[in-house]
A and B are shown apart, each in its own frame.
Chain A
Amino acid sequence: MSKAKCLWLFLGFCMLIGSANSVFAKPIEIHWWHAMRGARGETVQKIVDSFNNSQSEYKVIPTYKGEYDEVVNAGIAAVRAGKQPHILQVFEVGTQTMMLSGAIYPVYQLMGDQGYNIDWSQYLQPVLSYYMNADGKLMSMPFNSSTPVMYYNVDLFKKAGLPLLSKDKPVTWDEMGEITAKLVASGVEGGLVTAWQSWTQVENYSAMHNLPFASKANGYEGLDTELLINNDKVVNHIARLKSWMADKRFYYGGQKYQGPKSEFIAQNAGLYIDSISGIAKLQSAVKDFTWDIAPLPVESWMKEPQNSIIGGASLWVFKGLPEKDYAGVAAFLNHLAGTESQVLWHKETGYFPITLAAYQQLKADGYYKEYPYQEVGIKQLTRREPTKISRGLRLGYFIQIRNIINEELELVWNGTKTPQAAMDSAVARSNEKLREFERTYK
């Protein structure tokens, strides 16, 4: 092949790549990369289908791109290669990274530009606030949101002569001490286990007791934020759990292959703290006992506990795509926030509906009469207006910080460190990460 021929071939090849995704595309394709596998993925498909069938101008194409961290990596690689999808689902700990990325089209702006006049006050505020910037503007569309609650084994409670727990009024941690003691005394192997220990025992504990997790309003108001979780209250809470380990009133179920959930299912533990999204799994896995849900315990001095905070993921819109696509993106997000989609999403996955309208609809339909435990989380989440401290966490390198907290807690559980030393070290290590993050974005 001559050199000239090669050159022309190469140029032709480049043009093909350069132009392939812009012409002859009708309807306009909207790409959405997500991390919802199995049953959740099927619900995603249902919502997408209902949007695609409702109009012919746009076609949303959802793609499962792996676990949460894999989806983020795929999104980053795509942005760097200039091939970003329209919508990317990112887990809550990636919020700060996405917000500062400079690669996104904030949702409030998108909806405004496309002429959607949305009354954001008609949304569940503790859900929205996690994804708002410091000025209260919504940066990404909340998608799957959950909050931790406490599951308990009704049969074991009865056997131990314990009264059942209220679905509205949280028990206190002092009462928890007595309940778990009675459970263990009645012959249950252990009292309490917890999943996602950083999220449930540190992040949510701090939010509900209105204790700052980090300075600068949990990082919302500046990158120069520092962790504050080595305060007396948190340390005492960890120390209490550690002291309960002596007689197995509390024990560590691990984060992996064995896991607290299987301990609860095997009736080794009478109480179990985990996300409300675990409901579906328990419904199918538990055959031989009755269980119920109660709000997370609070301290006796906290007369008016704050809302708990959410976990899960939200949908980010990338900029830099053809202008005409964004009308479709906005239309789809609007469809997603619609009552019909939200009701379906909540019923099938257990994740919260994000609008008050959907919540009212579910109430009116008598859904919570039929499944009263489904409402515990949502009530706990909305029991008070979020404060600057309970609205959420906004930290850089949050994934690593969570890992640090998990590691340090494990060192408390296995007796290597005292709770104070572990929390001090978690703060010091996390602050280093935060400084590094700050320097990157300066």
Chain B
Amino acid sequence: MIKKRSYFRTRSLPYLLILPQILITVTFFYWPALQGLVASFQLSDPFGLRTRFVWFDNYVALFTDPLYLKSIMTTLLFSGSVALVSICVGLFLATMANRALRLTAVTRTLLIWPYAIAPAISGILWLFLLHPSYGVIAIFLEKWFGLDWNPLLQGSHAMLMIVLASSWKNISYNFVFFLAGLQAVPHSLIEAAAMDGAGPFRRFWTITFPLLSPTMFFVTVMTIIFSFFESFGIIHTVTQGGPGGATNILVYKVYQDGFVGLNLGSSSAQSIVLMALIILITVLQFKYVERKVQYTG
């Protein structure tokens, strides 16, 4: 850990200063996480009057349940699609904005605001656009592509709906990062390449793109975390996991099984699995960041 050389030497003050943070973290993080861990090894009635320790039964049940495996696949498909769409569009728009020298700031203002819109509201806006009986895009799809648009019955349609609503919200976030990353690319490198006769596209792929890769990695991680958790609001307002479980992603299943179905053991086990997954992603990210630091000296 990096240290400051000049320290204050007061004895109790540092403890007092860190106390609120520790208190809040322990009360609302460690203690619940521990409880969750314990509950994941138990079968318990909702009222907590009967609990039985069952070792790994909840986990075994989880990983032998085809629906849980399906939910994992659904989550991967969902996050993958959201990452793909929002990163491609975000990068594309950032590259364009970066080229439009005088208009860069204006463009940013016009593209940044969806960041401020709650996922749940993003869901509502897109529900209105894709509503089977009123949605203007739904009508368009039916008229021009002859598609029988029915997100109530077709899992793929429902999935498309939540992917669009989530990606839309995330484009602005990715855009901001890519634009900052692009603006940090040294001008001299580009000019040198231009003098060597490299066209704009080649310059992008051989110089800009590799330099953007740390940003790319970071943005991917953040988008995946977003689509794993914060998309809850979108699912809850738009599809509620349906039809036939086609949009039942992991975090929604935790909620459905735990709070609606009152199956505490299974829901806790699912939380622990999610927690482990995020810790894994965090560790990976820090490893990568460390390496990045080494590369740049």
- Chain A interface residues toward B at CB < 8 A: 69, 72-73, 76, 79-80, 94, 97, 100-103, 252-258, 262, 397, 399-400, 403, 406-408, 410-411, 413-414, 416, 429, 432-433, 436, 439-442
| Residues in A neighbouring B257, C-beta threshold 8 A | 400
Give the shortest distance, in Å, between B167 (CB) and chain A (any CB): 21
- Whether B260 contacts A97 by the Cβ 8 Å rule is no
B210 CB-CB contact with A under 8 Å: no
Interface residue ranges of B65-92 to A (CB < 8 Å) = 65, 67
Give the shortest distance, in Å, between B158 (CB) and chain A (any CB): 10
- Whether A101 contacts B153 by the Cβ 8 Å rule is no
| Bound Cα distance A432, B266 (Å) | 12
Whose C-beta in chain B lies nearest to the C-beta of A80?
Answer: B48
- Whether B153 contacts A413 by the Cβ 8 Å rule is yes
| Bound Cα distance A429, B90 (Å) | 42
| Residues in A neighbouring B50, C-beta threshold 8 A | 102, 440-441
- Chain A CB count within 10 A is highest, among B154, B239, B245, for B245
| Given A403-B256, A413-B153, A397-B262 contact (CB < 8 Å) | yes
| Residues in A neighbouring B154, C-beta threshold 8 A | 414
- Whether A79 contacts B47 by the Cβ 8 Å rule is yes
Whose C-beta in chain A lies nearest to the C-beta of B42?
Answer: A440
The segment from B13-21, B113-121, B125-133, B173-181 found at the interface with A is B125-133
- Whether B49 contacts A103 by the Cβ 8 Å rule is yes
- Whether B46 contacts A399 by the Cβ 8 Å rule is no
Total CB contacts across the A-B interface at under 8 A:
94
Partner of B45, one of A256, A411, A440: A440
Top 10 A-B residue pairs of the complex, sorted by shortest distance between their CB atoms: A254-B152, A410-B244, A400-B261, A440-B43, A410-B243, A411-B244, A101-B47, A102-B49, A414-B153, A76-B46
- Chain B interface residues toward A at CB < 8 A: 43-50, 52, 54, 61, 65, 67, 127, 131-133, 152-155, 239-240, 242-245, 256-257, 259-263, 265-266
| Residues in A neighbouring B266, C-beta threshold 8 A | 436
- Whether B262 contacts A257 by the Cβ 8 Å rule is no
**Interface of chain B: mostly helix, strand, loop or mixed:** loop
- Whether B262 contacts A97 by the Cβ 8 Å rule is yes
- Whether A258 contacts B43 by the Cβ 8 Å rule is no
| Residues in B neighbouring A80, C-beta threshold 8 A | 47-48
Give the shortest distance, in Å, between B174 (CB) and chain A (any CB): 29
| Residues in B neighbouring A258, C-beta threshold 8 A | 131-133, 152
- Whether A399 contacts B47 by the Cβ 8 Å rule is no
| Residues in B neighbouring A79, C-beta threshold 8 A | 47
| Residues in B neighbouring A440, C-beta threshold 8 A | 43-45, 50, 52, 265
| Bound Cα distance A406, B266 (Å) | 21
| Bound Cα distance A254, B152 (Å) | 5
| Residues in A neighbouring B48, C-beta threshold 8 A | 80
- Whether A441 contacts B244 by the Cβ 8 Å rule is no
| Bound Cα distance A410, B242 (Å) | 9
Give the shortest distance, in Å, between B120 (CB) and chain A (any CB): 14
Give the shortest distance, in Å, between B151 (CB) and chain A (any CB): 9
| Residues in A neighbouring B262, C-beta threshold 8 A | 72, 76, 94, 97, 397, 399
Give the shortest distance, in Å, between A393 (CB) and chain B (any CB): 16
- Whether A103 contacts B47 by the Cβ 8 Å rule is yes
Partner of A414, one of B155, B261, B265: B155
Whose C-beta in chain B lies nearest to the C-beta of A413?
Answer: B153
| Residues in B neighbouring A256, C-beta threshold 8 A | 152, 239-240, 242
**Known contacts A76-B46, A441-B45, then 6 further A-B pairs from the complex at CB < 8 Å, ordered by chain A residue:** A72-B262, A94-B262, A254-B243, A411-B244, A439-B52, A440-B43
| Given A254-B152, A254-B153, A257-B127, A101-B46 contact (CB < 8 Å) | yes
| Bound Cα distance A76, B48 (Å) | 9
- Whether B47 contacts A414 by the Cβ 8 Å rule is no
What are 7 A-B pairs at a CB distance below 8 A? A254-B152, A262-B133, A400-B257, A410-B244, A413-B153, A436-B263, A440-B45
- Whether B244 contacts A407 by the Cβ 8 Å rule is yes
| Bound Cα distance A397, B46 (Å) | 11
Give the shortest distance, in Å, between A317 (CB) and chain B (any CB): 15
